Amino acid sequence: MLKKTIFVLFMFIATIVLLAACATPPPQTVVVKETVPVLQTVQVPVEKTVVQQQIITATPVPKKLIEFGGFYPADSPWGKSIRLVGAQVEKDNPQCTFKYSEYPGTDGATAMDLRAKDGNPVDVAGGGIGNNGSDPALIEKQWAEGIVYDLSKDMKTPAYGQTSGTWMDTFNGAAKTMMVTAGGKIGTVPYMQTQIVMYYNTDLYTKYNLTPPKTWDDFMANCDTLKKNKVACVGGGGFNGYIGYWYDMILFRLMGNDKQFALYNRTDPTLKWTDAEPIKAAQMLTDMINKGYTTDGFVGGDFTAQQVAYFTGKAAHIFVGTWLMGEMKDSVPKEFHQAVTFFPTITGYEDKTPYEAAFGFLNAWQINNTGAKTKDTHSTDCAVTFVKAMTSKDNELVMSNGDNLDYITTVIGGQGKSAITGIGDLLDKMKLWFPAVQNVAATSPELQSKYWDNVTRLASGALTPETFGAQMQKDWDDVFSRLKK
């Protein structure tokens, strides 16, 4: 049985082997190996860059204060202009910082003066210094008190933004006359002027073939021509001070500046109001009136009406300050044309004064010395820089331009557009200047009042030239006798 089982198994295996040998072999699968390049990452050592922060330990620039004391509100046109210049100085000079302090009203100057005397002054006092440069007694007092800074050395240095020339040379004759005081010290910097000048109607001059007068004789000849054509030669007058301007200038032409100042302020007692020149000046003024060359109302009339007469062609001339156009801008006809000129000289007296001369008022900046009680770090150098910037030609052109009709600069070439045609060119040429009424109000306000009253009485015919001189001398003797006490 076992043999039979083995035999069957053998035959089964043999059959399977035979079948396998006779079968069709299956197709073979060929595996093709594709070689794909592999981008290998190479580990390159990276050199680390370390950015080190450099710490700069600079010492901050110490701020040096410029404190400006002004009568104008900080937000007024004037205040804004001054503060803009302060900002310019701060930008150009990082060590300087600007502060605007308001001192409004009539008490503003007194308050600043008290601060200065207390040892805590503002660095720059501005807006109302007036004619103190023409008052030697006041200047000497200020020097003695040690309040005012002497600008004489600074005036020899270049102006703001300039590298050559001198600051002094940028000012006209009016400013130079006011600045320089006894001993060569300079205590004020005039930035604005109000001058008394001769206005004339150019259309009337063209119509009657007239030329601007350089001498009094030329002027009288023009007046005669105008009178024949029923046009008043001279307008203005009215208020006694305006009539006084005529006498001031005539006497200035006859005496010269120094003698006139000495007579008005009695610095030379040998000079009298009864001398030849004061009497001649009185005669010339009354002759102009008596010949019928002036308007009705020139003496005692309303001054505004007198100005209107000039602007409406009823008078050819008016001798008044540069405030004229600011006061009357709403009353001036658009077709009105005018020009300005200096007051005529007098034949035979041309050597007394240059033709290019005028008088009036000046406003100035004053730089104060740092006081003992000053708390902040003030800087006189920064204050000087600021005043230089204020009086630079570029800044003055801006401040004297546009609607600011009353602003007449003292800086040569610094006059912007003005309602007064040619005023900048005229005053740039000025060679000599004196303050209105030779500043007698600084000596005694009573003197100025008596003087103006006497001139009005002279013009009205109540006084003759001779009695005018006698009355003036009497009043001068009286007032000065009381001043000494």
Long-range Cβ pairs for the range 15-22 (8 Å, 24+): none
The mean per-residue pLDDT over the stretch 296-300 comes to 91
pTM above 0.75, yes or no: yes
pLDDT of residue 48: 52
d(C-alpha 90, C-alpha 122), whole Å: 17
- Could you tell me the two tokens for 287? 């002759």
Confidence of residue 162 (pLDDT cuts 50, 70, 90): very high
Residue 62: name the closest of 94, 84, 40, 25 by CA. Answer: 94
Highest-scoring range by mean pLDDT, 45-59, 175-189, 328-342: 328-342
Specify the pLDDT at position 363: 87
Over residues 95-137, the pLDDT tens digits come to 999 999 999 877 888 888 888 888 899 999 875 444 444 455 6
- pLDDT tens digits, 411-468: 999 999 988 999 999 999 999 999 999 989 888 999 999 999 999 999 999 999 999 9
Cβ atoms of residues 356 and 99 within 8 Å: no
User: What is the DSSP-derived secondary structure letter of residue 100?
Assistant: E
pLDDT at 366 over 90: no
Residue whose token pair is 């050592």: 45
Q: 183: which DSSP letter?
A: G
pLDDT at 326 over 90: no
pLDDT, residue 212, reads 96
Residue type, 154: D
* Amino acid 237: pLDDT: 82
pLDDT tens string 184-217: 888 889 999 999 999 999 999 999 999 999 999 9
Residue 408 pLDDT exceeds 60:
yes
Q: Is beta strand 408-409 parallel, antiparallel or unpaired with respect to 64-70?
A: unpaired
Burial of 150 (0-12, 13-18, 19+ CB in 10 A): middle
**What is the CATH superfamily name and number for domain 64-192+360-419?**
Periplasmic binding protein-like II (3.40.190.10)
Is a pLDDT exceeding 50 seen at residue 63? Answer: yes
Q: What is the percentage of the chain residues whose pLDDT exceeds 70?
A: 83
